[in-house]
Structure 1
Amino acid sequence: MPFANYKLPEAALSKVQKEDLIHKTTDLLVSYFGEIARPTTMVLIEEVPDGGYGRADEVFIMPDEYRAKD
């Protein structure tokens, strides 16, 4: 069973964008493993709250202008 796990800032994608990401990821994995993989492919999108991630000792808070507009 192919498995993809995305960790994204909370509210970075709209519901429609998440659905699109799931479909495109599934199609990508099927292109490698064949149609037999489609029914068992798992795509997980985890949203990380502001302040729950960082890099190089910097804690990130996503600016409102980068948040998805539903």
Structure 2
Amino acid sequence: MPFANFKMPQAALSRAQKEELVHRTTDLLVDYFGEAVRPYTMVLIEEVPDGGYGRADEVFVVPEAYRARDGA
């Protein structure tokens, strides 16, 4: 069973963008492994809350201007 796990900042993607990511990732894995894996392919998008991730001692927060808007 192919499994893809994306970790994204909370509110970085709209619902439509998440759906597209699931569909495109599934298609990618089907292209690689064959059509038989489609019903068994799992795509998980985990949203990490602001302040819950960082790099090199810097804690990240998504600026309001970059937050996704559903329906956008």
Q: Name the TM tier (shorter chain).
A: over 0.9
SS in 2 for 1:4: strand
- The aligned counterpart of 2:27 is 27
Instruction: Please report the TM-score for the alignment, with normalisation by the length of structure 1.
Output: 0.98
The CA deviation string for residues 13-38 of structure 1, in whole angstroms up to 9 with x for no partner, is 01110000000000000010000010
Q: Distance in 2 between matches of 1:36 and 1:66?
A: 38
> Which sections of structure 1, spanning at least 5 residues, go unmatched?
none
The RMSD of aligned alpha carbons is 0.4
Q: Alignment partner of 1:26: what SS? A: helix
Matched residue pairs, number? 70
Structure 2 residue runs of 5 or longer lacking an equivalent are none
Report the secondary structure of 2:4's partner residue: strand
Moved beyond 4 Å, runs of 4+? none
Q: TM-score, normalised by structure 2?
A: 0.95
Q: Which residue of 2 aligns with 1:17?
A: 17
